Structure 1
Amino acid sequence: MKQRELSRWLKLIIVFCGFFGLLFCIYVGPETGRELLLDAENLKGMYKPFTIFIWVTGIPFFIALVFGWKICSDVGWNRDFTIINADRLKIISVLAMLEGVLYVVALLFLFVSGSFHTNVLAILLLILFFAVVIAVFTSLLSYLVRKASDIKQDNDLTI
């Protein structure tokens, strides 16, 4: 697969992730909250904060997609192993860690308030797990891209 074709496929995946993220923030999250929180008598007051929380956690997700798009553009132009892309991956890692922190705070809030529902806990823990996995792997990729960039610069200087 050529780099331009790979770049197009990766950008298509990012578009689908953005579409599904937008669908989650606008429809799935609020509807799930409505079903889980408004049906339970003791959780009715949590619906609006839950919806706002979903929207707030969408912000780092969409910022990370923008950085991913920029990385894909650089891959298409054969500028994949650069310090700039290593920094972008590091930013994506930090954004994923921020998502993880937000979900840990949400879990702590639910435990402290005693107003948790098993399905909400499962969803929050699943999202927290994915945030941690993304943070670890993008941090690792950032390190590897930085090392590859250093090797590429050394090779460019010796030739």
Structure 2
Amino acid sequence: MKQKELSIWLKLIIVFCGLFGLLFCIYVGPETGREILLGSENFKTLYKPLITFIWVTGVPFFIALVLGWRICSDIGSDLAFTIKNADRLKMISILSMVEGLLYIIALLYLFADGSYHANVLIVLLLILFFSVVISVFTSMLSHLVRKASEIKQDNDLTI
């Protein structure tokens, strides 16, 4: 697969992730919250904070997608191994950890309040797991891209 084709495929994946994120923030999250939280007297007060929380946690997600798009553009231009891309991957790792911390705070709040629902806990734990996995892998990729960039720079200077 050529770099242009790879770049196009990766951008297509990013578009689908963005569409899924929008769908989750605009429809799935609020509707699921409405079914679970508004159906019970104990959880009614958590509906508006849940919607706000979903929108707040969507911000790092979409910033990471924009950074990923820029990395894909560089891949298509044969500039994959650059310090700039290593920094972008590091930023994606940090954004993913911020996302994870927000979900940890949400879990702690639910446990402290005692108003947790099994379905909500499962979703929060899954998102937390994926944010940690993404953070670890993008951090490793950042390190590898940085090292590859250094090797490439050394080779470019060699006659």
Q: Using structure 2 for the length normalisation, give the TM-score.
A: 0.99
Q: Give the structure 1 partner of residue 124 of structure 2.
A: 124
Distance, in Å, in 2 between the alignment partners of 1:56 and 1:36 is: 20
> Does the residue aligned with 2:43 lie in a helix, a strand or coil?
helix
> Does the residue aligned with 1:42 lie in a helix, a strand or coil?
coil
Q: What is the Cα-based RMSD across aligned positions, in Å?
A: 0.4
Deviation track 1:89-112 (CA, whole Å, cap 9, x = no partner) reads 000000000000000000000000
Pairs aligned (count):
159
Structure 1 unaligned runs (5+)? Answer: none
Distance, in Å, in 2 between the alignment partners of 1:60 and 1:37 is: 25
Q: Give the structure 1 partner of residue 64 of structure 2.
A: 64
Deviation track 1:100-128 (CA, whole Å, cap 9, x = no partner) reads 00000000000000100011001000000
Distance, in Å, in 1 between the alignment partners of 2:82 and 2:146 is: 7
Q: Give the structure 2 partner of residue 147 of structure 1.
A: 147
Deviation track 1:7-60 (CA, whole Å, cap 9, x = no partner) reads 001001100000000000000000010011011110000000001100000000
Distance, in Å, in 2 between the alignment partners of 1:151 and 1:36 is: 53
> Does the residue aligned with 1:41 lie in a helix, a strand or coil?
coil
Q: Percent identity?
A: 75
Deviation track 1:65-102 (CA, whole Å, cap 9, x = no partner) reads 00000000000000000000000000000000000000
Q: Give the structure 2 partner of residue 9 of structure 1.
A: 9
> Does the residue aligned with 1:115 lie in a helix, a strand or coil?
coil
> Does the residue aligned with 1:95 lie in a helix, a strand or coil?
helix
Q: Using structure 1 for the length normalisation, give the TM-score.
A: 0.99
Structure 1: which 4+ aligned runs deviate by more than 3 Å?
Answer: none
